[in-house]
Amino acid sequence: MWKLFSSKSVAHHEHLYTQLAAGKQTDEIERWFERDFETPAKEPIDKVLSNGRLTPEDWKRLVRFLAAQDVRTPATFAQKMKRWDESLPGLLKETMDKSLKKYDEARKTGHVPLPPPPTEDREGLPLRVSVRRNPSGGGEIGAEMLGGRKLWLWTIKRALNRTMNVLYKHKWTILRPPEGMTWSTSDNPVIRLNMSSPTKYNFDGGWNSRGTCIFLPLGPEHLLYTQVGERPPQRGGRMLEEHADLVRKFTAEHAWRMIFAREQETDVPVFRPRIVNPEEVQRERDQWSTWNEQQVLAEQDMDETGDS
């Protein structure tokens, strides 16, 4: 149900980005978000909201802001966890099998290559390789990857330090809704839309996938928008009502737990029907209450040596 809230009292989770560094908990990533992505975007967003002129650097800061909002939400973490639960075991086994096969082939030729040196790209990756040697010779080798907060933060840093550069290549614009209509947003605000028709679409588009529409509401009347590989509409243009209705529909459907609007919107409950389930609410609250403790214990265990 639509209610008035203070912006400081919603969309907040304790320890979502907390890391272990030298055995101590740190909020360095959250400070990185604020320092490198949020604060630099404040001036360009203010310009957008006042319909001011944007410089190339302003556009770059807006794109960086969008990228950070895309990768840092609880919804993104939940999606990645589901994917990791399904794919990590098989991926690790396949990688280990290939590596051992290459090692055996190299040993037969007498030219066993040295392991690659650590790189900045792999720094912080929660991967542990264990070796168990048998007294009579031979042994076992295994690999384990922690599919939790630490891996998520590693993927965030990789995306924002490297992958997001492709976003600078796209043509961005600011679109406004029809007169009398406003944009809403949500706790999962960046939408990467693949659509072949109003009834056939998904939110699995990539940052560099041709045809994918990427958009983020910056305010009730301003939408940061691009379509990969296409020339965008003129900045400040107002969308047709039928297209704006789709944007509002996609925004509601893409939300995680909350939809934000300047005023009550009668079509939001139609786009995203409200489900009343106190048991599920309590289950999720219980999960978040133990979130940090569980993640810290798992990360501490992963940091211990795996050799034996």
With cut-offs at 50, 70 and 90, classify the pLDDT of residue 120.
low
pLDDT of residue 10: 77
- Give the range among 134-148, 237-251, 271-285 with minimum mean pLDDT: 134-148
With cut-offs at 50, 70 and 90, classify the pLDDT of residue 122.
low
Can you tell me the mean pLDDT for 153-170? 95
Q: Which two tokens stand for residue 259?
A: 């939809």
- In degrees, rounded to 5, the angle at the alpha carbon of residue 122 between the alpha carbons of residues 118 and 124 is 105
pLDDT of residue 307: 41
With cut-offs at 50, 70 and 90, classify the pLDDT of residue 251.
very high
Instruction: Enumerate the H helices of the chain as residue ranges.
Output: 28-33, 39-49, 56-71, 74-109, 149-161, 241-254, 268-271, 278-289, 291-303
Is 256's pLDDT higher than 50?
yes
Q: Where are the domains of the chain?
A: 170-274
Can you tell me the mean pLDDT for 65-85? 93
Q: How many CA atoms lie within 13 A of 69 on its CB side?
A: 24
pLDDT of residue 175: 96
Instruction: Output 153 or 99, whichever has higher pLDDT.
Output: 153
Is 98's pLDDT higher than 80?
no
Average pLDDT along the chain: 87
pLDDT of residue 132: 75
- pTM (2 decimals)? 0.86
With cut-offs at 50, 70 and 90, classify the pLDDT of residue 160.
very high
CB 16 within 8 A of CB 33: no
**Phi, psi angles (nearest 5°) of residue 247:** -60, -45
**Phi, psi angles (nearest 5°) of residue 194:** -105, 125
pLDDT of residue 225: 97
Can you tell me the mean pLDDT for 15-36? 88
CB 302 within 8 A of CB 150: yes
Tens of pLDDT along 128-148? 776 777 777 666 776 777 788
Q: Which two tokens stand for residue 203?
A: 């939110």
Tens of pLDDT along 42-61? 999 999 999 999 999 999 99
Is 306's pLDDT higher than 50?
no
Tens of pLDDT along 104-117? 777 677 665 656 65
With cut-offs at 50, 70 and 90, classify the pLDDT of residue 8.
confident
Across 120-240, the runs of DSSP E, i.e. the strands, are 127-133, 139-145, 173-175, 185-186, 191-197, 200-202, 213-219, 222-227
Distance of CA 190 to the CA centre of its chain: 9
pLDDT of residue 157: 94
Is 241's pLDDT higher than 70?
yes
pLDDT of residue 280: 93
Is 202's pLDDT higher than 80?
yes
pLDDT of residue 58: 98
Q: What is each CA distance from 175 to 40, 57, 75, in whole angstroms?
A: 21, 19, 25
Is 254's pLDDT higher than 60?
yes
Is 305's pLDDT higher than 60?
no
